[in-house]
Amino acid sequence: MPDAFIRKSEADSHSGGSGTSRPKVGVALGAGAARGWAHIGALRELTAIGVSPDIVVGSSIGAVVGGCYAAGRLDTLESFARSLNRRRVFGLLDVSFAGGGLIGGDRLRCRLEESIGALRIEDLPIRYAGVATEIGTGHEIWLKRGPLVEAMRASYALPGVFEPVRVAGRWLFDGAIVNPVPVSVARALGADRVIALNVAVEGSGRGTAIQDAPDPDEAPIEPPPAVEEAGTGVIGALRRGAGLLRGPWTSEGPAAPGLAAVMVNAFNITQDRIMRSRLAGDPPEVLVTAKVGKIGLFEFHRADELIALGREAVRKARDEIAEHVELAPGKD
């Protein structure tokens, strides 16, 4: 087994906190693409109320924010996120027609390397792991050694959008496919108390089974919820710039949803179902959910709103957090 990663089945066992003066605190940062900027605000507020995590893990954008936090680069990431507008976001994209995704990812890799350099995960002051998925096998891969930037890139490589990343001979992509909010990873790395940070869009978690579809000749009891508007973010920019994706962008009206609407909503639904299943089997001590409304997966230019929503979510959960985690004087 190459030392760049470890499979779930070969994870570290932990001692349950024996020999330490206090239980170890882990933070699990969930997936959500642009919505994950809310994690920046959540981590800021955790610091403000006196939570100092011993372990930070993440999937997708959660791996990016968590890695920057563990590396002491959260200020840099926040400044970058707040500086983005639609034009700057589009300027970071290198459209690819030859690889396994619409975006090659070299420009983003260069920006991460400028900020983080050659830092290795095993040298970070806080224990860290990013979650990725192996193409072909579907293995859940825990990236807990090796270059930090490489782990981040593998964890956020959204299928069909970013090209997969080769790590130690394996092709990896987005960890949200198998473990959107990796509480299990935090526990396996030694956390006795886990705070999970999740982002939720309007209408998420409401899916159910309809055993008898309505008569097609009858009007529906209520209109279906609108499909996420994808034309205002990165995918919209790609559509306008390269003509790759065509509307319509919502399910409203008689026309069938366009490719981007189908991709975005399939990912939203899949991630929500997997997350609920995983958290039911291994619930955190505290689940903090930042409700981000209708902010799209690719609206990276809305960092100011998202960071504020993350802070507010932790403020609301402060009493619950205090029930499970000893709060020290805050620093922020």
C-alpha 21/C-alpha 27 separation (Å) is 19
Write down the catalytic residue from 59, 60, 204, 251: 60
* Residue 18 a catalytic site member: no
Summarize the chain as % helix, strand, coil (round to 5): 40, 15, 45
* Residue 174 a catalytic site member: yes
Write down the catalytic residue from 54, 174, 192, 272: 174
C-alpha 274/C-alpha 283 separation (Å) is 13
**Which residue has 């995960």 as its token pair?**
121
CB 24 within 8 A of CB 187: no
State both tokens at 6: 């470890």
C-alpha 291/C-alpha 131 separation (Å) is 23
Max Cα distance, the chain (Å): 68
Residue type for position 298: F
In sequence order, what DSSP letters do the residues of 219-232 get, joined into one string? Answer: PPSSPPPPPPP-TT
C-alpha 113/C-alpha 193 separation (Å) is 32
In sequence order, what DSSP letters do the residues of 309-322 get, joined into one string? Answer: HHHHHHHHTHHHHH
State both tokens at 192: 């006795």
Tell me how long the chain is. Answer: 332
> Which positions are annotated as active-site residues?
60, 174
